[in-house]
Structure 1
Amino acid sequence: MSDNQTKEPKIKGGSFVIETPELERVMTPEDFTDEHRMIAETVRDFVDGEIMPRDEEIEKLDYELTVDLLRKSGELGLLGADVPEAFGGVGLDKVSSTIINETLARGSSFALSFGAHVGIGTLPIVFFGTPEQKRKYLPDLASGALIAAYCLTEPTSGSDALSAKTTAKLSEDGEFYILNGSKLYITNAGFADIFIVYAKIDGEHFTAFIVEKGMEGFTLGPEEKKMGIKGSSTRPLFFEDVKVPKENLLGEIGKGHRIAFNILNIGRYKLAAGAVGAAKEAIELSSKYANTRKQFDTPISQFPLMRKKLAEMNIAAFVMESMVYRTAGLLDEALQDIDYEQPDSGVQVAAAIADYAIECSINKVFASEGLDFVADEGVQIHGGYGYIQEYKIERIYRDSRINRIFEGTNEINRLLIPGTLVKKAMKGEIALLEKAQALQVELLQMVPGQSFEETLAREAHFLDMSKKIFLLVGGLAVQKLGTKLEKEQELLSNLADIMTDIYALESALLRTRKHLTRTTEEKAAGMIEMTQVFAYEAFQRIEGLARETLAAVETGDMLRMQLSVLKKLTRTAPLDTVALKRSIAARVVSRERYTV
């Protein structure tokens, strides 16, 4: 397109560790359009009117009810948000589909059934299907006439997905692929019609297939008895000489990993969006309970330790929300010019999504652990009542635990975050090594200033120093360990956590600064205070991770020298976070909900 020539270059995935984007290029919830807000209202009305009144029935695993509700959401256009209009969908932007995922989170198990269908179930065909496959399946997937499931995990392959044992062999007449094997923990299995299944052709070439319910030799095992998300279907699948028409091969032979990993990337950021919604609900439940529950003739919301919990829960949700919508904006920009009617659209999609694999993993790790923290504190605020099923916080607590396992465990994602960055640097996609080398010269002359008169100047300083710390520690680890670094999982995890806190801090800071261009400091006080607290505490964590990593790669005088450099970078005055959290908590208690 001719207007592409005037567009700014896309922000490179992972570049946040060495660059800071301009404010106008960062998507925030304050940038929502009237259409975005209308979509959120539509979903809220659907949840309140259709899902919440049937909540107990859904939790008892009523297939018919879940399918009926999915079809009703299809009538509203919610199932077709990510499906192009040309194939029967609505073709909304990624911010809109993120809003849908977040707002549906109050629907608990139904939200999972919905998410598995519209995300990992439907997107493989949207992104990688042939025009014929898209025309055949997408209109019915967008309406809910067909329900989808995604089938990757096997009894012996979880995190190591490419070690799958399910096989596919071309029939003698060349018309079918014969599938044999099994899949485990498949969401929506009990009522799905379409299954995205991964198998190795001739036991070697990892490939995706579209398998339909009812194909001979395709059977289901019993429902798993789960800790949480009890209203969602989770069953194993078995394939015994299942004949799949050759035209149901999805993507290219031997390139199934392109589909699997990129769909998981999208799934990770969508999971984070759901975590934001669940965290907000937990804050609302907990703040309302704290205002009504009295001990010693006083509402427990008036006790400082209870208020501290509510403040920290709110800060976690604020940062999660800032990261998720920033990432949605990046994905929108990356995918906006792709024509899904073109045969090579899958290749373009794979490249676009893969570029933000780091950000997707960071969102998944931070939000899943953030929600676990919020849910846990929510139970604590409820006291003994939080352990009783009558109170929804108990279910949020149980349901949240799976998020650290879904879409690649957090341990695997922590290895992917720095590992992917190093690969991008080695390919010359990010000037990481050059920046690390330049830092060595800069550190010799650097004396960080400590005068922070402007609003959020201290937090911007923390962000700048954090990026330098990452370059210092990461560069040293690569220099000292070389290719052996990939086996040092503890160090990779530390680097991942530093990168995650940098992305989180930067997302919150950019959001708040952007908001300040449109309003007064008084009206933005909540955002400012949350950004200040998070920045200070993240900076302390980053310093600790850096010290631990340096001690693992250096000894003696060299270690002392590196620690002295780190001390120079982390020099700062204490911040009164107690007062800031009290101020944040006062707003939450007053409004009885998540608040910025």
Structure 2
Amino acid sequence: MNTLELQTKGGTFLIQPTELSSFYIQELISEEAKMMHDAGTSFIRNEIENRLEFMETPEAIQVGPELIQKCGELGFLGLEVSEKYGGMDMSFKDVLHFTTTMSKGYSFTGALGVQTSIGIAPVFLYGSDFLKEKYLTKMIAGELLSAFALTEPNAGSDANSGKTKATLDEEGNFSINGQKAWISNAGIADIFIVFAKIEDDKNLSAFVVEKAFGGITIGPEEKKMGFSGWSTCQVFFENVKVPKENLLGERNKGLKIGLNTLNTGRIKLGASCIGVGNKVIQHAKEYAEQREQFGKTISSFGAIKDKLARMSAYIFAIESAVFRLGNDIDILREELTTKGEAFSNAKINSLKEFSIESAIVKVFGSEAQDFIIDQGIQIYGGMGFSADCPIEHLYRSLRISRIYEGTNEINRLVIIKEFVKKGMKGELDVMSAFSKVYTEINNDSDEYSLNTIEKFQQFTDNLKSLAVFVSGICLQKFMQKLEEEQEISMHISDLLIQIYVLESTLLRIQKLQLENILNEEIHFANLNIIAFDVFAKISNSMNELIACFETEKEASSLILARNKYLRFPHVNVKEERRRLADYILD
């Protein structure tokens, strides 16, 4: 795929404006997606919440197969798969709507996500016609359960260093030997997507391996901090005989398959944070309205309102970024299909193109989710420390969100690595943007507009200029060694994360206005709250970044850029938070 020929490109948010006409907001949800939402909500209520205490115990692992099969009967497992194999071929943004719904399923959410995102997806996207016809229909029906066997005891983030081996026999079939760790769904899986190096290859290859092939031993269930109802085990492969037809994709291309598959998981993880976050806010709101102290409900206190407002604004921001990305992927997939790419290739390449944004929504979503859950526990006070608190188990379980699908540290490094790579290859004209900012760095700063949208458009543009300048200066100083300067790289990534989220929030406000569904008072409150938090976080990142240089003189250009571009247009954030909190409590 030659990305230079594409109209829709990943990473361009930093250096060029986004067309509002093609921007998608969740308020424009399709009727089909609404129907799936209603079906998913009913399933969660009847199958999970009605027996929640049991569903969060290790014993619940054994009912997973039955529930996944029910999901198959309801059509939940093949939303992204073409109709040819029994799927629904829904748009990616509609799939993300459904993901936010099913994220409220506690431990079962994990088991379901493994089946669809990293079980069915790699077979559908990379499998030969033989593999698709043999496995896909049964996987979509929930008759064959899957697991994704990539991680090893000494190969986590550095997946390609895995030691699992596949040796060839005279007929070209494989024998796999090795050990995998922290494999989700391992205890209930019928087939494994296994990553191993063939003979002395430098890179991994991928295989579809049936448990029925023999030679597979499943270790005991891991004792985890949370998600007790979701199977996680070690898996041992001893002379497992795998037919040559079960090679997934091409030899030596397994790592790409793994990483591209994880891109899907990262986006869906960001979407999951929306559903879980909303559930936490609902619980916290209800408790705050019931709990009385000093003669009044704690929901009337400014400190509690401050928490509820920030929690809600973060959800608004995650939604804005996630559905923006989902729609961009849909647009690119259509574009690639029109250019003649096969269905599967178009999906693979559209996901791959937006690897920067995928990492952004994973990092921001998981960290915002952690903030929301932590604040929810705080609203409960002492009751939040009790196992009877309705979000106590979520507090423990969802800590994994910043670790799986690539740790947030790895994802921050992915963001800057991909951004630099696209710039070096000419796919992003970062140098022209840098040259423009470099020439204007000493110009006087303009005053911010009084119009809310124009004001925050100026603020966003200033932050983009700051990020372009900082990236350019650090690249000039460190060149190819920037990747080794991980502290600096991660601070730059934080700038990109915050800018993407802020711009997504601003674009959503503009789209709401365009569609005549803007609640000016409440939506502007969300924008003001998020913009201030972005300002605070970027201020901290810039100060950390400047402190990474040996002397103030060496960091002088960064200090100049900070002082010029990092100016926040004043708003009374306290009153904005109170306004939004009162709306939530109404």
TM range (shorter): over 0.9
Deviations 1:171-225 (A, max 9, x none): 1232x21000011111111111111000000142410000011222111000000
SS at match of 1:254: coil
Map of 1:360 onto structure 2 = 358
In the alignment, the residues of structure 2 paired with residue 573 and residue 455 of structure 1 have an alpha-carbon distance, to the nearest angstrom, of: 10
SS at match of 2:213: coil
In the alignment, the residues of structure 2 paired with residue 352 and residue 364 of structure 1 have an alpha-carbon distance, to the nearest angstrom, of: 17
Aligned length: 579
SS at match of 2:193: strand
In the alignment, the residues of structure 1 paired with residue 304 and residue 241 of structure 2 have an alpha-carbon distance, to the nearest angstrom, of: 59
Map of 1:532 onto structure 2 = 528
Map of 1:262 onto structure 2 = 260
SS at match of 2:212: coil
Map of 2:423 onto structure 1 = 425
SS at match of 1:228: coil
- Under a length normalisation based on structure 1, what TM-score does the superposition of the two structures give? 0.94
Deviation at 1:259, TM superposition (A): 0.5
Map of 2:185 onto structure 1 = 188
Map of 1:496 onto structure 2 = 493
Deviation at 1:453, TM superposition (A): 2.4
Q: Is 1:331 aligned to residue 329 of structure 2?
A: yes
2:579 maps to which of 570, 576, 583: 583
In the alignment, the residues of structure 1 paired with residue 215 and residue 554 of structure 2 have an alpha-carbon distance, to the nearest angstrom, of: 64
After superposing the two structures, state which structure 1 stretch, 253-262 or 387-396, moved more.
387-396
1:543 maps to which of 539, 543, 548: 539
Instruction: Report the AA paired with residue 195 of structure 1.
Output: F
SS at match of 2:148: strand
SS at match of 1:472: helix
Deviations 1:270-301 (A, max 9, x none): 11111111000000000011101111221111
Deviation at 1:76, TM superposition (A): 1.1
Instruction: Report the AA paired with residue 269 of structure 2.
Output: L
SS at match of 1:456: helix
Deviation at 1:306, TM superposition (A): 0.8
Residue 186 of structure 2 contacts residue 233 of structure 2 at CA under 8 Å; is this kept in 1?
Answer: yes
Matches within 5 A, 1:330-479: 330-336=328-334, 347-444=345-442, 446-479=443-476
Instruction: Report the AA paired with residue 407 of structure 2.
Output: T
Map of 1:58 onto structure 2 = 55
Map of 1:289 onto structure 2 = 287
Residue 187 of structure 2 contacts residue 233 of structure 2 at CA under 8 Å; is this kept in 1?
Answer: yes
In the alignment, the residues of structure 2 paired with residue 289 and residue 42 of structure 1 have an alpha-carbon distance, to the nearest angstrom, of: 28
In the alignment, the residues of structure 2 paired with residue 573 and residue 43 of structure 1 have an alpha-carbon distance, to the nearest angstrom, of: 42
SS at match of 1:122: helix
Deviation at 1:567, TM superposition (A): 1.1
RMSD: 1.9
Instruction: Report the AA paired with residue 325 of structure 1.
Output: F
Residue 89 of structure 1 contacts residue 138 of structure 1 at CA under 8 Å; is this kept in 2?
Answer: no
Matches within 5 A, 1:59-458: 59-61=56-58, 62-174=60-172, 176-204=173-201, 205-336=203-334, 347-444=345-442, 446-458=443-455
Map of 2:14 onto structure 1 = 17
Q: 1:130 to 1:185 in 2, by over 3 A?
A: same
SS at match of 2:457: helix
In the alignment, the residues of structure 2 paired with residue 466 and residue 21 of structure 1 have an alpha-carbon distance, to the nearest angstrom, of: 16
Deviation at 1:559, TM superposition (A): 3.4
SS at match of 2:420: helix
In the alignment, the residues of structure 2 paired with residue 395 and residue 430 of structure 1 have an alpha-carbon distance, to the nearest angstrom, of: 43
SS at match of 1:219: strand
Deviation at 1:252, TM superposition (A): 0.2
Q: 1:327 to 1:395 in 2, by over 3 A?
A: same
Map of 1:45 onto structure 2 = 42
Q: 1:356 to 1:76 in 2, by over 3 A?
A: same
Instruction: Report the AA paired with residue 198 of structure 2.
Output: I
Instruction: Report the AA paired with residue 232 of structure 1.
Output: W
SS at match of 2:182: strand
Deviations 1:405-442 (A, max 9, x none): 10110111111101110000100100012211121112
In the alignment, the residues of structure 1 paired with residue 336 and residue 137 of structure 2 have an alpha-carbon distance, to the nearest angstrom, of: 19
Q: 1:405 to 1:171 in 2, by over 3 A?
A: same
Deviation at 1:456, TM superposition (A): 1.8
Map of 2:567 onto structure 1 = 571
Deviation at 1:32, TM superposition (A): 0.9
Instruction: Report the AA paired with residue 17 of structure 1.
Output: L
Residue 184 of structure 1 contacts residue 237 of structure 1 at CA under 8 Å; is this kept in 2?
Answer: yes
Map of 1:593 onto structure 2 = none
Residue 273 of structure 1 contacts residue 324 of structure 1 at CA under 8 Å; is this kept in 2?
Answer: yes
Deviations 1:360-403 (A, max 9, x none): 00011001111110001111111121122222210111111000
In the alignment, the residues of structure 1 paired with residue 105 and residue 341 of structure 2 have an alpha-carbon distance, to the nearest angstrom, of: 37
Residue 294 of structure 1 contacts residue 300 of structure 1 at CA under 8 Å; is this kept in 2?
Answer: yes
Deviations 1:20-63 (A, max 9, x none): 21112112111212222222111111111222113222222324
Deviation at 1:551, TM superposition (A): 4.3
Q: 1:148 to 1:335 in 2, by over 3 A?
A: farther
Residue 480 of structure 1 contacts residue 553 of structure 1 at CA under 8 Å; is this kept in 2?
Answer: no
Residue 162 of structure 2 contacts residue 196 of structure 2 at CA under 8 Å; is this kept in 1?
Answer: yes
Instruction: Report the AA paired with residue 259 of structure 2.
Output: F
In the alignment, the residues of structure 1 paired with residue 435 and residue 287 of structure 2 have an alpha-carbon distance, to the nearest angstrom, of: 54
Residue 423 of structure 2 contacts residue 430 of structure 2 at CA under 8 Å; is this kept in 1?
Answer: yes
SS at match of 2:186: coil
Instruction: Report the AA paired with residue 316 of structure 2.
Output: F
Identity of aligned residues (%): 37
Deviation at 1:579, TM superposition (A): 0.6
Residue 456 of structure 1 contacts residue 532 of structure 1 at CA under 8 Å; is this kept in 2?
Answer: no
In the alignment, the residues of structure 1 paired with residue 308 and residue 262 of structure 2 have an alpha-carbon distance, to the nearest angstrom, of: 32
Unaligned runs of 5+ in 1: 1-7, 591-596
Deviation at 1:64, TM superposition (A): 3.8
In the alignment, the residues of structure 2 paired with residue 203 and residue 245 of structure 1 have an alpha-carbon distance, to the nearest angstrom, of: 19
Residue 459 of structure 1 contacts residue 536 of structure 1 at CA under 8 Å; is this kept in 2?
Answer: no
In the alignment, the residues of structure 1 paired with residue 452 and residue 555 of structure 2 have an alpha-carbon distance, to the nearest angstrom, of: 36
In the alignment, the residues of structure 1 paired with residue 47 and residue 558 of structure 2 have an alpha-carbon distance, to the nearest angstrom, of: 59
Q: 1:74 to 1:479 in 2, by over 3 A?
A: same
After superposing the two structures, state which structure 1 stretch, 578-587 or 200-209, moved more.
200-209
Deviation at 1:561, TM superposition (A): 4.9
Residue 147 of structure 2 contacts residue 191 of structure 2 at CA under 8 Å; is this kept in 1?
Answer: yes
In the alignment, the residues of structure 2 paired with residue 573 and residue 451 of structure 1 have an alpha-carbon distance, to the nearest angstrom, of: 6
Q: 1:346 to 1:352 in 2, by over 3 A?
A: same
Residue 130 of structure 1 contacts residue 343 of structure 1 at CA under 8 Å; is this kept in 2?
Answer: no
In the alignment, the residues of structure 1 paired with residue 553 and residue 56 of structure 2 have an alpha-carbon distance, to the nearest angstrom, of: 61
Residue 259 of structure 1 contacts residue 350 of structure 1 at CA under 8 Å; is this kept in 2?
Answer: no
